[in-house]
Structure 1
Amino acid sequence: MSDKKIHEVELLAKLIKTIGDEHGISQVLDLGSGQGYLSRVLAYKHGMRVLAVDMSDIQTKGAERFDQRALKALSLSPSSTTQESNLKHVTEMVTPENVGDVLSKWGGEGDNDDGRWIVCGLHTCGDLSTSIFRLFANSDQIKWMVNVGCCYHFLSEEGPQPGFPMGDWLKGKGYQLGNSARVLACQSPSKWTDPVIGQQSFNQYFYRAVLLHTIVDKGLSQKAPAIGMVKRKKTYLQYYQTAMKRLDYEADAISETEAESYYQMYKEQNVDKQIIVLWTLRVLLAPVLESLILVDRWLYLKSLSDSENKSSVDANDSDVKMWPLFDPIASPRNMCIIVSK
Structure 2
Amino acid sequence: MVLQEDAQKKFEMTQDLVKIYEWLLNMYMLDFYVDHQWSTLPASWNESLQTMDPEDLGTLLSGAPIKHMLPLSLLSLVKCAHTLSISRKMNYKTRIIEDFPHSEVANNPKLKNLFLKHVKLKKRHEINLMAEIVNETAKLSNCGAVLDFGSGLGHLMRVLSYKYDLFTMGIESQSQLTEQARTFDLELEYTAKKHLSEELMSKLKRPTHINLTLTSSEQLLQLPLTANITEYGLIGLHPCGDLGPLLLKHFINCEKVKFICIVGCCYMKLSCDIEPYGYPMSEYVKNLGSKLTFTSREIACHAIETYAERLMKGEYEYLKIHAFRAALEKILVEHDPALKHSPVRSIKHSNTMTFDSYCSAALSRLHVCLCAEAVSAGHDCVSRWRHVVLLYSLRLLLAPAVETLVLLDRMLYVLEHGLQCEIRPVFDPKISPRNHIIIGRRI
- Which structure 2 segments of 5+ residues have no match? 1-118
The code of the aligned residue for 1:325 comes to V
Please give the alpha-carbon distance, in whole angstroms, between the structure 1 residues aligned to 2:280 and 2:315: 31
Please give the alpha-carbon distance, in whole angstroms, between the structure 2 residues aligned to 1:40 and 1:200: 41
Please give the alpha-carbon distance, in whole angstroms, between the structure 1 residues aligned to 2:190 and 2:263: 30
Query: How many pairs were matched up?
Result: 315
What is the identity percentage for the equivalent residue pairs of Structure 1 and Structure 2? 27
Distance 1:200 1:177, change over 3 A: farther
Deviation string, structure 1 residues 106-134 (Cα, Å, up to 9, x no partner): 1436xxxxx22011000111111000101
Check the 8 A contact 1:227/1:243 in 2, yes or no: yes
Match of 1:35 among 140, 149, 153: 153
Please give the alpha-carbon distance, in whole angstroms, between the structure 1 residues aligned to 2:177 and 2:237: 15
The code of the aligned residue for 1:234 comes to S
Distance 1:75 1:56, change over 3 A: same
Distance 1:169 1:71, change over 3 A: same
2:402 match: 289
**1:44 corresponds to 2:169:** no
Match of 2:305 among 190, 193, 196: 190
2:440 match: 339
Check the 8 A contact 2:262/2:438 in 1, yes or no: yes
Distance 1:99 1:222, change over 3 A: closer
Check the 8 A contact 1:47/1:86 in 2, yes or no: no
| Structure 1 SS opposite 2:279 | coil
Match of 1:132 among 241, 247, 253: 247
| Structure 1 SS opposite 2:395 | helix
Please give the alpha-carbon distance, in whole angstroms, between the structure 2 residues aligned to 1:242 and 1:162: 40
Q: CA deviation at 1:147?
A: 0.6
Check the 8 A contact 1:13/1:41 in 2, yes or no: yes
Match of 1:119 among 226, 231, 234: 234
| Structure 1 SS opposite 2:217 | coil
**1:199 corresponds to 2:294:** no
Normalization by structure 1: what TM-score? 0.81
| Structure 2 SS opposite 1:74 | helix
Please give the alpha-carbon distance, in whole angstroms, between the structure 2 residues aligned to 1:340 and 1:242: 52
2:389 match: 276
Deviation string, structure 1 residues 187-240 (Cα, Å, up to 9, x no partner): 222112322696266334223323323333443844123559x57443546865
Distance 1:281 1:226, change over 3 A: farther
Normalization by structure 2: what TM-score? 0.64
Please give the alpha-carbon distance, in whole angstroms, between the structure 2 residues aligned to 1:102 and 1:152: 26
The code of the aligned residue for 1:43 comes to S
Distance 1:160 1:261, change over 3 A: same
1:319 match: 420
2:122 match: 4
Check the 8 A contact 2:331/2:378 in 1, yes or no: no
1:314 match: none
Q: What's the RMSD between the two structures over aligned residues?
A: 2.9
| Structure 1 SS opposite 2:330 | helix
2:279 match: 164
Which of 66-75 and 129-138 deviates more? 66-75
Check the 8 A contact 2:268/2:298 in 1, yes or no: yes
1:212 match: 329
1:312 match: none
Select the structure of larger CA radius of gyration: 2
Q: CA deviation at 1:264?
A: 4.7
Q: CA deviation at 1:175?
A: 2.3
Distance 1:140 1:264, change over 3 A: same
Distance 1:265 1:82, change over 3 A: farther
| Structure 2 SS opposite 1:322 | strand
2:269 match: 154
Distance 1:243 1:122, change over 3 A: farther
Distance 1:281 1:63, change over 3 A: same
1:249 match: 366
Check the 8 A contact 1:298/1:320 in 2, yes or no: yes
